[in-house]
Amino acid sequence: MIAPGETIGILGGGQLGRMLAMAAAQLGYRVHIFAPEPDAIAAEVAAAFTCAAWDDTPALARFAADCAVVTYEFENVPVTPLAALGTTPILPHPKALETGQDRLAEKHFVTALGGRTARFAPVDSPDDLAAAIAQVGAPGILKTRRDGYDGKGQWRIGASGDTRGLKLPAKPLIYEGLVRFSAEFSVILARRAPKSSAKNSDTKNSDRGDIRFWDSPLNEHEGGILARSSLPAPAAVREQVAAARALAQKVAEALDYVGVLTCEFFATQDGPVFNEIAPRVHNSGHWTIEGAITSQFENHIRAICGLPLGDTTLIAKGVEMRNIIGANQTGPKTGKWAAEDWDKILSDPANHLHLYGKAASRPGRKMGHVTRLTLA
Ligand code: AMP
């Protein structure tokens, strides 16, 4: 167990790291951020900051020497240089990073566990594209296998399967059939290490780890970016949560997962279709700060420190979380606020405003979010 007062290292300096650092501080921990960007917004609320490249192994070793445990808030942290962290534990285990970093490996992993995914085929070079489309069918989406997020690195292919004029990067890609879904949702869980492998082992308890799920929100995207998460989710989602949770639990157990894990799903006529893993706290779980007894950020810190997990129960009748996204990405359906609207947002006393402290607003950049609870 890592006791309050010790130092937690976080790889990544964005808003997820910032909210993790705030939860850690509440529990009395010191936080050390490691990130390559000098203006890391997580560092502003942390005790220490190492600004260095992901492959700067001497800097990683010095960082590890200051930390009792290291976690991550960014799923594209390069895995190989993490060997420089030596004996400092990394939680969740880096195999979760490896699995989530490659869309092809991730799909094979999940289908081997019995999960359903979109139909898919690898596209290792442009010559493979026609065969992949013939195999999977059109319409579909071509995605970079690595480093894609928030809809970046994706190209839609129409029903005709026509790919003329498509300018693709010289990187391994994956082609996915377009899933016809009625809604998107996520399963967010926290898992603590099985007690038999913890230092203070309690053999009376089961050794399957302690898993808690939050309610699954309906997630609405605009331009590939999450715009809104809300609860209660519609029946089309609620009916599929049990099956999706069963798969997410298998994923967590197969990865010996410790911390908060998110699995994204499409609700379809034939049940939940797995989309992707985020081996970290997730944007669709921001509502848990005000809307659940224990937030995803606090339970992640509890899990990696070996503390008992907090109750994940929803405390309101309903919750809505809207992202504040940089200019031009706000559409009529769900986009509503800009970061400059902070006074307007706060003029409604029911709104909880979270601004991430990012200096410059760019199109598509997540600047903050607003959460509202419905109490009666
Ligand atoms: P991703 O980066 O894979 O999460 O994709 C971003 C968004 O694009 C998803 O949340 C969906 O709205 C949409 N999307 C991705 N893959 C598919 C698919 N195979 N079929 C339909 N929509 C998809």
CATH number at residue 134: 3.30.1490.20
What pLDDT, on the 0 to 100 scale, is given for residue 196?
61
Q: Which of 46-50, 204-208, 317-321, 366-370 has the lowest mean pLDDT?
A: 204-208
Query: Are residue 270 and residue 322 in the same domain, yes or no?
Result: yes
What pLDDT, on the 0 to 100 scale, is given for residue 30?
98
Q: Could you tell me if residue 301 is inside a domain?
A: yes
The last residue of one of the domains, among 155, 177, 199, is 177
For the cut 50, the answer to whether the pLDDT of residue 256 exceeds it is yes
Q: How far is the CA of 82 from the centre of ligand 1 (A)?
A: 30
Q: Could you tell me if residue 277 is inside a domain?
A: yes
Range of the domain at 281: 179-376
Query: Are residue 168 and residue 189 in the same domain, yes or no?
Result: no
Among 36, 32, 30, residue whose Cα is nearest residue 48: 32
CATH number at residue 317: 3.30.470.20
Q: How far is the CA of 38 from the centre of ligand 1 (A)?
A: 32
Residue 150 pLDDT grade (very low, low, confident, very high; cuts 50, 70, 90)? low
Substitution site in 275, 277, 329, 334 for ligand 1 pocket (most atoms within 8 Å of beta carbon): 275
Query: Are residue 23 and residue 36 in the same domain, yes or no?
Result: yes
Query: Are residue 229 and residue 333 in the same domain, yes or no?
Result: yes
Substitution site in 75, 110, 116, 141 for ligand 1 pocket (most atoms within 8 Å of beta carbon): 141
Closest ligand 1 atom to 176 CA: 19
Closest ligand 1 atom to 149 CA: 2
Query: Are residue 150 and residue 220 in the same domain, yes or no?
Result: no
What pLDDT, on the 0 to 100 scale, is given for residue 224?
83
The total number of structural domains in the chain stands at 3
Q: Could you tell me if residue 349 is inside a domain?
A: yes
What pLDDT, on the 0 to 100 scale, is given for residue 201?
45
Query: Are residue 136 and residue 2 in the same domain, yes or no?
Result: no
Question: How much is the average pLDDT of 205-220?
Answer: 85
What pLDDT, on the 0 to 100 scale, is given for residue 326?
85
Please give the residue that has the higher pLDDT: either 312 or 363: 312
Ligand 1: residue whose CA is nearest its atom 9: 224
CATH number at residue 65: 3.40.50.20
What pLDDT, on the 0 to 100 scale, is given for residue 90?
98
For the cut 90, the answer to whether the pLDDT of residue 205 exceeds it is no
What pLDDT, on the 0 to 100 scale, is given for residue 159?
94
Tokens (6 digits) for 80: 């190989």
Q: How far is the CA of 372 from the centre of ligand 1 (A)?
A: 26
Query: Are residue 264 and residue 322 in the same domain, yes or no?
Result: yes
Closest ligand 1 atom to 275 CA: 3
Q: How far is the CA of 224 from the centre of ligand 1 (A)?
A: 7
Closest ligand 1 atom to 179 CA: 20
Query: Are residue 173 and residue 193 in the same domain, yes or no?
Result: no
Query: Are residue 230 and residue 315 in the same domain, yes or no?
Result: yes
Residue 173 pLDDT grade (very low, low, confident, very high; cuts 50, 70, 90)? very high
For the cut 90, the answer to whether the pLDDT of residue 337 exceeds it is no
Computed over every residue of the chain, the mean pLDDT equals: 93
For the cut 70, the answer to whether the pLDDT of residue 199 exceeds it is no
Q: How far is the CA of 275 from the centre of ligand 1 (A)?
A: 7
What pLDDT, on the 0 to 100 scale, is given for residue 335?
57
Q: How far is the CA of 208 from the centre of ligand 1 (A)?
A: 32
Is residue 286 within 8 A of residue 371, CB to CB? The reply is yes
Please give the residue that has the higher pLDDT: either 198 or 159: 159
Query: Are residue 159 and residue 214 in the same domain, yes or no?
Result: no
Q: Could you tell me if residue 141 is inside a domain?
A: yes
For the cut 90, the answer to whether the pLDDT of residue 328 exceeds it is no
Residue 153 pLDDT grade (very low, low, confident, very high; cuts 50, 70, 90)? confident
Query: Are residue 173 and residue 252 in the same domain, yes or no?
Result: no
Q: How far is the CA of 103 from the centre of ligand 1 (A)?
A: 12
What pLDDT, on the 0 to 100 scale, is given for residue 6?
98
Q: How far is the CA of 139 from the centre of ligand 1 (A)?
A: 13
Q: Could you tell me if residue 111 is inside a domain?
A: no
Q: What lines the ligand 1 site, CB under 6 Å? A: 118, 141, 148, 151, 176, 178-179, 184, 221, 224, 264, 275-276
Among 157, 90, 332, 133, residue whose Cα is nearest residue 227: 332
Residue 334 pLDDT grade (very low, low, confident, very high; cuts 50, 70, 90)? very low
Please give the residue that has the higher pLDDT: either 334 or 12: 12
What pLDDT, on the 0 to 100 scale, is given for residue 376?
81
Q: How many angstroms separate the most distant Cα atoms in the chain? A: 63
Q: What is the pLDDT of residues 27-69, one digit of tens each?
A: 999 999 999 999 999 999 999 999 999 999 999 999 999 999 9
Query: Are residue 73 and residue 37 in the same domain, yes or no?
Result: yes
CA distance 242 to 17: 30
Please give the residue that has the higher pLDDT: either 205 or 276: 276
What pLDDT, on the 0 to 100 scale, is given for residue 149?
67
Q: Could you tell me if residue 99 is inside a domain?
A: no
Q: Could you tell me if residue 330 is inside a domain?
A: yes
Q: Could you tell me if residue 106 is inside a domain?
A: no
For the cut 50, the answer to whether the pLDDT of residue 331 exceeds it is no
